[in-house]
Amino acid sequence: MSIDVQHITKRFGDFVALDDVSVTIPSGGLTALLGPSGGGKSTLLRVIAGLESADAGSVHIEGTDATRLAPQKRNVGFVFQHYAVFKHLTVARNVAFGLEVRKVPRAQVRQKVHELLELVHLSQFADRMPSQLSGGQRQRMALARALAVEPSVLLLDEPFGALDAKVRKELRDWLRRLHDEVHVTTVFVTHDQEEALEVADEIVVVNGGRVEQVGTPDELYDAPANDFVMGFLGEVTSLGGRVLRPHDVELETGPGRDAAREAIVTRVLRIGFETRVLAETVQGEQVTVVMTRTHARTLELVEGMTVWLSAAPGAVSVAAPTGAAGGSDERDPAVPLAV
Ligand SMILES: Nc1ncnc2c1ncn2[C@@H]1O[C@H](COP(=O)(O)OP(=O)(O)OP(=O)(O)O)[C@@H](O)[C@H]1O
């Protein structure tokens, strides 16, 4: 394992930002730290980087105990959301900076900068000043700069967070391709589940200073450890005290299955190729059902109509949180609903 975090606790005054966090991050992968704002993702990344010292626990990087090492001794590269560029240096000189500080011979620096600018598709901008680049190009320059010193680990804190949605999407596709080329162990922080699901090999879900689950995008989506992970990775609804995805609710216009719950359609919304049906069961549960527009049309759904709802065979579901606070510590593992 490339990064091994064991029993890390970090407090800011009385506030516990990381509460006994243990996680191992595989070598050569692209791992996302995903979670809601304030959950502790950045703090965990900063502890790995050595920019924040933990109150308890250890960090090993590539087998070396880095817990008490200064950031510059950890062989990690960073890129942050608002990257501090050297405004008075050209793009090429920015990328060369770390190598020049390390007194790498000039010809070697030139060669390396050339290769890196090719890698991040900025060769034609080598002599520009950073102010002449777009936001996305500047973040690519930042990545080239971080990669220049050949770190064993690359840490990215919401690297594309400040960019607009379209550029963000382009850059995340590009990051995936870049990673496939260079294979440096990369950890990136994001609060965007789509970004994590699309880009990462593995996702660490961080919430309330704890790790909720670690797994591949498929594992998290298909077998969420609890209602928090399930709700964070996609839309959910509840039916019969279980949390499940709205497209996994089957709606029939007659009483078919034994387990089906009778409900009244309260709203029918057509959004693009999907139809979203809101219904209230006789037990008073508000349920959202998502189906194709064609299917909805064949059912001839109208508000006020009586329907029967059940979980589709094989639907993934978890126990609904108990109480208004939303969940207990003892959570049921994801199990398919009995249908
Ligand atoms: N230097 C600090 N002093 C005091 N509290 C801090 C400090 N840094 C972080 N915190 C608190 O620790 C908690 C976790 O912060 P952190 O930045 O790790 O969250 P995050 O999951 O990265 O959230 P975001 O996506 O909003 O950055 C937050 O409640 C934050 O206010």
What are the residue boundaries of the structural domains of the chain, listed by start?
A: 3-222, 236-336
How confident is the model over 190-197, as a mean pLDDT?
Answer: 91
Q: Looking at residue 293, what is its pLDDT?
A: 93
Whose alpha carbon is nearest atom 7 of ligand 1? 12
- pLDDT for the residue numbered 1: 54
What's the whole-number average pLDDT of the chain?
A: 89
Report the candidate in 182, 184, 192, 148 with the shortest Cα–Cα distance to residue 29.
184
Predicted local distance difference test score (pLDDT) of residue 175:
86
CA dist 306 and 78 (Å) reads: 57
Please tell me the residue having the least CA distance from ligand 1 atom 29: 38
Judged against a pLDDT cut of 90, whether residue 337 lies above it is answered with no
Residue carrying structure tokens 């409900």 = 263
pLDDT value for 174: 82
Q: Is 38 in the pocket of ligand 1 (CB under 6 A)?
A: yes
86 lines ligand 1 (CB under 6 A): no
Q: Which residue's CA is the closest to the ligand 1 atom numbered 5?
A: 12
The residue whose CA is least distant from atom 25 of ligand 1 is 37
Same fold, 3-222 and 236-336: no
What are the pLDDT digits (tens) for 110-135? 999 999 998 888 999 999 999 999 88
The matching CATH number, chosen from 3.40.50.300, 3.40.50.11540, 3.40.50.460, 1.25.10.10, for 3-222 is 3.40.50.300
Q: How close is the Cα of 37 to the center of ligand 1, in Å?
A: 8
Q: Tens digit of pLDDT for each residue in 270-312?
A: 988 899 999 999 999 999 999 999 999 999 999 999 999 999 9
Q: Which of 5, 15, 51 is the best mutation target for the ligand 1 pocket, counting ligand atoms within 8 Å of the beta carbon and taking the most?
A: 15
Q: In terms of CATH architecture, what is 236-336?
A: Beta Barrel (2.40)
